[in-house]
Amino acid sequence: MMITAKTEKEIKIDTDYLQSLLRRIVPSKCLQLLLWNCSPLGKNKEESSVYRISCTVLDNNRKQNYTMILKILKPDSMRNQVDHYYYWKREALVYHSGILNQLPLGIRAPLFHTVEEHPDENVWIWLEDIAIESIQSDWSFTHMCKISYLLGKYNGAYIKGTPLPTESFLCHTWMRSWVEVCAAYAKPIEEQKVIWDSCLNDFNGKSSMWELYHNNRDRVNSLLETLELLPRVFAHQDVHWDNIFIEQLNGNDSLIAIDWQFASISGVGEELGRMFGYALLKKKVPVNKVAEYKEELFLNYLQGLRDVGWDGNFKLARFGFTASASLRFIMVIDKMLSNLEEDDRINQKEKSSHLLLVTQALLELAEESWNLRSQII
């Protein structure tokens, strides 16, 4: 029977290989691939691209449809070190190692099928197609509280005895690597000060914020050193609305996590801080409700930790949360100043106003984390 295929121009999939892969996945010796097609999911990024492969097969004289996810990782010499927060090959190694099969109860990853290394050095990961469209949710306050609670249970399981993965490709200094990359891309602080002063009228006289920023830039390394002393957990480190979903298992909420490229051994609370900082930047956390969201999300995270049996000092988790969230200020303030430097100042004003409020909230979190640091060291 003729096999037809429709693929994207930039990828070529061998039909015989696809049929052999399906025969490994589907428990049938009679399976025959009839036709298949490939459709991109999301934007084709410089570092990776994702496709849904839809197949029609003949199985014991019945037509069946199967889908898989193909994620292609592209090599990058700038991200070729295992201690880089975004080591380009990490996700393939994470799946291939099997460590995602050993996650604690309450969280799972897509089933892994296989990894291929291609002559062009691209790495192809074949995964279960999870119908995330049916479980995606707007990141309402209530939804974020549920996510926070489940993250607490997930992280807490490792503090309470679930063995940490020991694979060498996991980053053990994730926040440090991320901060170093952000700082390297940012303008020198002297240049930032010139832009800040020239735009002070736009900031409604917020001159004291610069001093706060300058003080917290000097504290960054101390915050990172303390983060690295916190109780360790296996972290996803990229929790947001496109990567983390809630499903119902036996009547209970449970997490599905995709995109494990940031997988790391991190400090308790970091996972929540990363989520909070990104959600604040992307307006999922309203800037006028930062205090409310901050407290409730942390309390839910802490309850998750407590419910798996961790009775340690809550200030450790609080520091991990506030410090990792606050360190985003390094990136945000540089982005804001770059916007203001643009010629079309009027169109940039609204963006910059939001970033200014985000910066203020992040710097307040940095102050809180600095105060907490003196209490836990």
The yes-or-no verdict on residue 201 having pLDDT over 80 is: no
Pair (341, 237) in one structural domain: yes
Identify the pLDDT of residue 363.
97
Pair (272, 140) in one structural domain: yes
Higher pLDDT pick, 157 / 199: 157
Model confidence pLDDT, tens digit, residues 20-77: 899 888 877 778 899 999 999 888 788 999 999 999 999 888 898 999 999 999 999 9
Pair (190, 242) in one structural domain: yes
Q: Where a domain ends, among 128, 160, 192?
A: 128
Residue found by looking up tokens 């990136």 in the block? 331
Identify the pLDDT of residue 3.
42
Pair (11, 44) in one structural domain: yes
pTM: 0.92
Residue found by looking up tokens 């999301």 in the block? 42
Three-state secondary structure call for residue 313: coil
Pair (236, 340) in one structural domain: yes
Q: Beta-strand (E) ranges in 185-297?
A: 232-235, 244-249, 252-257, 264-267
Pair (291, 311) in one structural domain: yes
Dist CA 196 CA 193 (whole Å): 5
Smallest CA-to-CA distance from 22 within 48, 59, 49, 50 is with 59
Smallest CA-to-CA distance from 261 within 94, 376, 20 is with 94
Pair (111, 193) in one structural domain: no
Average pLDDT, the chain: 91
In the predicted model, what is the mean pLDDT of residues 217-230?
97
In the predicted model, what is the mean pLDDT of residues 83-100?
97
Q: Where a domain ends, among 83, 106, 128?
A: 128
Domain of residue 290: give its range: 136-376
Task: Give me the CATH number covering residue 207.
Answer: 3.90.1200
Domains in the chain: how many in total?
A: 2
Pair (327, 361) in one structural domain: yes
Pair (112, 173) in one structural domain: no
Identify the pLDDT of residue 61.
84
CA angle 226, 228, 233 (to 5 degrees): 130
In the predicted model, what is the mean pLDDT of residues 110-117?
96
pLDDT > 90: percent of the chain: 75
Model confidence pLDDT, tens digit, residues 128-162: 999 887 788 889 999 999 999 999 999 999 999 99
Q: Where a domain ends, among 128, 155, 174?
A: 128
Pair (112, 143) in one structural domain: no
Residue 141 · residue 295 · CB < 8 Å:
no
Pair (154, 247) in one structural domain: yes
Q: Among the listed ranges 33-47, 60-74, 80-94, 344-358, which one has the minimum average pLDDT value?
A: 344-358
Pair (219, 87) in one structural domain: no
Chain-centroid distance, C-alpha 2: 42
Task: Give me the CATH number covering residue 58.
Answer: 3.30.200
